[in-house]
Structure 1
Amino acid sequence: MSDSPTTVISAKPVVLPAPERGEDLQVRVSAPATGGDLPVIVFSHGFGWSMNGYAPLADHWAASGFVVVQPTHLDSRTLGIPHEDPRTPRIWRTRIEDLTRVLDGLDVLEAAVPGLAGRLDRSRVAVAGHSWGAQTASALLGARVLGPDGLPGADLSDPRARAGVLLALTGLGDDLTPFAVEHLPFMRPSFETMTAPALIVAGDNDRSQLSTRGPDWFTDPYVYSPAPKSLLTLFGAEHSLGGIPGYEVAETTDESPARVALVRQLSTAFLRSALSPGDTGWKAAVTALENDPAPLGALRSK
């Protein structure tokens, strides 16, 4: 018999003032209705999405005992900011600042959600993201962007972010298409200083329009970052990794509820163990995948 479902409370929009941003930062906060000492996941959405996306992940994490905070970045379709807006070239930096602003504003967020006050554990905070959101989250874990001179740019890491889950994170900038080179200069990462523990999830059928390389491009963040890291390679998965932005959305080209369930299960176990060293759930999840007669993916760690 399965456990009874956990009631999740969710509040949106919770607004963090951001005068220099041009739009105040709107976020969604989801949490289990009961329990204390709750760890926090700050989640960065992919291009064009908003705080309303990624329910397959956010709802599961909240039901599993996390407070999930989802900011709406300036590239969100819900805001309708035109491409020629002067803020556009800097949105990649603004996204990173959005995550830092959330961490700075946890008191405000906690007070804004009925029944949440006094239940957060600020010593256990993780960041997560999908696609562009994974690039955003990786900066708080120590990844840097190489400048035109090939040298690492500003260190935007945040020690409050103790671990991360990076979903479909793009790789090194050596093999970008001409379009990406011209329009997306921030896609030249260095992972050498990404020292925080992270689970990197890549699809072995994820072929990007931005790179001349194949799906192995998405394994670069694991290959070129220092331990401790784990890489989950999902068999047959494309960029949506089975549908993590939401079921039945147009961008999901490889819909697979089973694949999404595996991402949920492993990401939850990873973050629990990364934020609570005595937790053995990650080891158990790894063993279960290794012993699965028909696994949906392969895992390696360093």
Structure 2
Amino acid sequence: MTTYPTTGLSGPAPTATVSVKPLVLKAPQRGEDLHVRVTAPTTGTGLPVVLFAHGFGSDLDGYAPLVDHWASGGFVVIQATHLDSRRFALPADDPRRPRMWLHRVQDMRRVLDELTTVEAGVPGLSGRMDRSRVVAAGHSFGGQTAGILVGLRVTDPHTGTAEDLSDARVMASIRLATAGKGGDELTPFAHDNLPWLRDQDFSHIIAPGLVVAGDKDNLPLSTRGPAWTTDPYTLSRGDKSLLTVHGGEHFLGGISGYRAAETTDENPDRVALVQQVTLAYLRHVTAIDHTDWNYARTVLTGNHPLGHLESE
């Protein structure tokens, strides 16, 4: 076990990892093949899987501070490049644009459908993944994607219906700095440009989940301020936890990449907090070990300078 002096938290000793990209999954109906990156420990068996969805505009190379930490802690992390990525630069009139939210969910399902192919594409990984333990995770737009896989219902702007698109293969979720409910709380920009945020229903989420929110995350999408990003916690049901990152803006200190220019609140200590709490949660919810999670709950329920952790 490792004790981290900056946060006062604990975690497993890190192990060596390997990363392979791109693994290409054929997706003719998508219009673009699905490119996937896999990062995994070089040793160990029965490794749980984290299916990670990036934020709007990012790609499979993003979020290394989280991906590297989770993989070194014993998880196979799978990332895809979704259609909203800047790498595709879809034109404004592309017919896929209004349903990007749905294409993302379909991307995740495709990865789950083809885990055998994904596993075979990484030298030395065959037979070492535990497909019965899959956690969906995501940041920002990716948080919605992960949420849908565990029961979040989004009203399709085209059909006016909110289907259940959850996937029984996903046991839990981690949602970081992601959107709250829509309705009158959306700004005109969000209402007009992000129609998939107009009506989100969190009440069907009963799977265990960890929500991470920055208390300075003033997104230009809601009139409610930072509290908006706590909705995925307060409005869902079941076994849930909320990590509030003190001083955290939308990138929570820099989780989207090492030295990422988009980070407005660069702070290595905040990143370390998010890394360590999320890994402790992953180990807890997949029943590897509960020690680090229980310790984090003890340390972060008081007056900790970096954050606060609560659970229901």
Q: TM-score range by the shorter chain?
A: over 0.9
Matches within 5 A, 1:1-302: 5-146=14-155, 153-174=162-183, 175-187=185-197, 188-276=199-287, 279-290=290-301, 294-302=304-312
- CA RMSD of superposed structures (Å): 1.9
Moved more, 36-45 or 280-289: 280-289
Q: Using a 3 Å threshold, how does the CA distance of structure 1 residues 193 and 4 change in structure 2: closer, same or farther?
A: closer
Within 1, Cα distance between the matches of 2:161 and 2:245? 30
**Native 8 Å contact 1:8 1:31 kept in 2:** yes
Identity value in percent: 56
- Three-state SS of the structure 1 residue aligned to 2:175 is strand
- Three-state SS of the structure 2 residue aligned to 1:287 is helix
Within 2, Cα distance between the matches of 1:70 and 1:147? 25
**What TM-score, normalized to structure 2?**
0.92
Deviations 1:194-237 (A, max 9, x none): 11111000000001111111110111111111021101111111
**Native 8 Å contact 1:144 1:152 kept in 2:** no
Within 2, Cα distance between the matches of 1:5 and 1:26? 27
**What TM-score, normalized to structure 1?**
0.95
Within 2, Cα distance between the matches of 1:89 and 1:195? 28
**Native 8 Å contact 1:152 1:190 kept in 2:** no
Q: Using a 3 Å threshold, how does the CA distance of structure 1 residues 277 and 65 change in structure 2: closer, same or farther?
A: closer
Q: Which amino acid aligns with 1:286?
A: R
Q: Which amino acid aligns with 1:195?
A: I
Within 1, Cα distance between the matches of 2:308 and 2:18? 34
**Native 8 Å contact 1:247 1:255 kept in 2:** no
Within 2, Cα distance between the matches of 1:74 and 1:277? 34
Q: Using a 3 Å threshold, how does the CA distance of structure 1 residues 223 and 148 change in structure 2: closer, same or farther?
A: same
Q: Which amino acid aligns with 2:229?
A: F
**Native 8 Å contact 1:289 1:295 kept in 2:** no
Within 2, Cα distance between the matches of 1:83 and 1:156? 26
Within 1, Cα distance between the matches of 2:148 and 2:13? 37
**Native 8 Å contact 2:297 2:310 kept in 1:** no
Q: How big is the shift at 1:49?
A: 0.3
Q: Using a 3 Å threshold, how does the CA distance of structure 1 residues 197 and 182 change in structure 2: closer, same or farther?
A: same
Unaligned runs of 5+ in 2: 3-11
Deviations 1:18-60 (A, max 9, x none): 0100001001000000110000000000011000000000011
Within 1, Cα distance between the matches of 2:85 and 2:165? 22
Q: Which amino acid aligns with 2:44?
A: G
Q: Which amino acid aligns with 1:139?
A: I
Within 2, Cα distance between the matches of 1:273 and 1:281? 8
Deviations 1:49-76 (A, max 9, x none): 0000000000110100000000000111
Q: Which amino acid aligns with 1:199?
A: L
Unaligned runs of 5+ in 1: none
Within 1, Cα distance between the matches of 2:16 and 2:286? 23
Within 2, Cα distance between the matches of 1:134 and 1:172? 13
Q: Which amino acid aligns with 2:284?
A: S
Within 1, Cα distance between the matches of 2:305 and 2:241? 17
Q: Using a 3 Å threshold, how does the CA distance of structure 1 residues 9 and 184 change in structure 2: closer, same or farther?
A: same
